[in-house]
Structure 1
């Protein structure tokens, strides 16, 4: 059965180009040219991936991302932006995008990114099963408790709301507490070896994680090691962030 993709793009020529080439790759493609209708369709129907323009009438792409992720919808999303600025990239990633592309871009590159993202999620959808109760895979580090099968995290008994990729970054760090992990380590573990995006993606997610861990910074925090990467420190004296 063909994987279903939703393209939310208001430029007619680009939308037709994307839809045509995605269909040629064997995907089933739906298209919406308005932010509000695109959001409604993303909520009501099942899609394996969404290609989302950030500049849309009705509801912009960032608002769509925020609302979808806020409802726990994990459908992979690749955002498109006409502005080649770091701020747009950071906003999209912080809002829960799995990947991004700046216009103009080559269709072949987009197809490669779509394929890579779909391989990474390995069939996990927004309706992924959720288990209840603790399991043998639970990670407890001081006041930090991580439940991998439920994508849940608590710190000092309080729940922390993490986006899927933030959770996966924290989980990878937590499995090797005190060990310095390079950006490449994190990139390959969370996004996959075939991820085309840059290491800035890792930095954005770590920055967001740090803010959410401020609930109890003396218990657990993430330190930067200049030119190398990051490590999760638990119940230890903070080392300088450089």
Structure 2
């Protein structure tokens, strides 16, 4: 069965171009040219991936992303931005985008990014359930509690709302507390070896995580290792326990 894609793009020529080329690659494509209509469709129907323009009538791309993630929709999203500024990229990633492309872009670049995201998501979906793995149940580090199967995190008994990619970054760090992990380590583990985006993606997600972990920085925090990467630091007065 063909993978189903939703393209939300209000520029008619670009919308038709994207739709045509994606169909030629074997995808089933639904095209919407209005933000509100695109959001409603993404919320009510199943799609394997969404290609989302940030500048849209009715509801902009950031609002769409925020609302979808707030509703628990984890469909991977590639955002299209016409502005080659860091702020737009950061806003999109913080809102839960899986990848981004800056206009103007080549069709081959878009197709490569769509294929890469779908391969990564498919690989995750096909992983066998680890019902006998104690790490699958929970990870407890100081006051930090992580439940991988449920994508839930609490700190000091208080629930923390994380975007899917923020959760995956935290989970990878938590599986190796105190160990310095490079940006490449995190990029490959969370986004996949064939992810085309830059390491700035990792920095944005770590920065967002830090703000959310400020709830109890004495229990757990993320340290930067200049020129290398990051490590999760747990209060030494607490003994890390895995699998409880």
User: Taking structure 1 as the reference length, what is the TM-score of the superposition?
Assistant: 0.92
Q: Deviations 1:127-172 (Å, cap 9, x if unpaired)?
A: xx9x9xx975311111111111111111111111111000000000
Which aligned pairs between 1:217-228 and structure 2 lie closer than 5 A? Answer: 217-228=217-228
Residue matched to 1:182: 182
- What is the Cα deviation at residue 121 of structure 1? 1.0
Describe the shift of the 1:105–1:220 C-alpha distance in structure 2 as closer, same or farther (beyond 3 A). same
Structure 2 unaligned regions, length at least 5: 238-244
Could you tell me whether the CA contact under 8 Å between 2:136 and 2:148 is conserved in 1? no
Tell me how large the CA RMSD over aligned residues is.
1.7
- What is the Cα deviation at residue 122 of structure 1? 1.3
User: What number of residue pairs does the alignment pair up?
Assistant: 231
Residue matched to 1:71: 71
Q: Distance in 1 between matches of 2:123 and 2:177?
A: 29
3-state SS, counterpart of residue 117 of structure 1: helix
3-state SS, counterpart of residue 159 of structure 1: strand
Q: Distance in 1 between matches of 2:205 and 2:51?
A: 21
Q: Distance in 2 between matches of 1:96 and 1:211?
A: 16
Q: Distance in 1 between matches of 2:85 and 2:71?
A: 28
Residue matched to 1:240: none
Q: Distance in 2 between matches of 1:72 and 1:123?
A: 21
Q: Distance in 2 between matches of 1:6 and 1:86?
A: 25
3-state SS, counterpart of residue 75 of structure 1: coil
3-state SS, counterpart of residue 56 of structure 2: coil
Tell which has more relative contact order, 1 or 2 (C-alpha 8 A, sep 6+): 2
Matched, 1:61 2:61: yes
3-state SS, counterpart of residue 140 of structure 2: strand
Residue matched to 1:25: 25
Describe the shift of the 1:124–1:44 C-alpha distance in structure 2 as closer, same or farther (beyond 3 A). farther
- What is the Cα deviation at residue 53 of structure 1? 0.1
3-state SS, counterpart of residue 149 of structure 1: coil
Matched, 1:92 2:92: yes
Q: Distance in 2 between matches of 1:236 and 1:136?
A: 24
Q: Distance in 1 between matches of 2:117 and 2:83?
A: 22
Runs of 4 or more, structure 1, over 6 Å off, are none
Describe the shift of the 1:136–1:185 C-alpha distance in structure 2 as closer, same or farther (beyond 3 A). closer
Structure 1 unaligned regions, length at least 5: 238-242
Q: Distance in 2 between matches of 1:197 and 1:120?
A: 14
